[in-house]
Amino acid sequence: MPAPLDPRYAGSWRALTGKLALRALVNPRLAVDLLRTGWAFRRRDWWRQPPFLPLPDRTYLRWRMYTAYASEDAVPPAEDVIRFARWRRETMHL
């Protein structure tokens, strides 16, 4: 039986998206970082399958959450996503 999910990583993707959108509204640099990060995670051939949006592949996203938070059902805190997006820009010189 899998261990219960840590409450710090129990949330909804919709709530996370809302928090990130609000933060991006007040910080244009962060908005660019988040958009670039989101684009990098898009599913291959996203335009060929409904819902025809550049969303991440669900299997890949679940694997990423498992490797980062030890649970496929984890939802990262907004601060982790922001930190990763900034790290990605600084490391990749975007």
Q: Mean pLDDT over all residues of the chain?
A: 91
Indicate the pLDDT class of residue 18, thresholds 50, 70 and 90.
very high
- What distance in Å separates the CA atoms of residue 27 and residue 17, rounded to the nearest whole number? 15
Query: What's the whole-model pTM score?
Result: 0.85
| Domain range list for the chain | 11-37
pLDDT for the residue 2: 55
Indicate the pLDDT class of residue 3, thresholds 50, 70 and 90.
low
For residue 70, the SS3 value is coil
pLDDT tens per residue across span 67-76: 999 999 999 9
- Identify the bridge partners of residue 56 per DSSP, sorted by sequence position: 42
Within 10 A of 49 (CB to CB), how many other CB atoms are there? Answer: 10
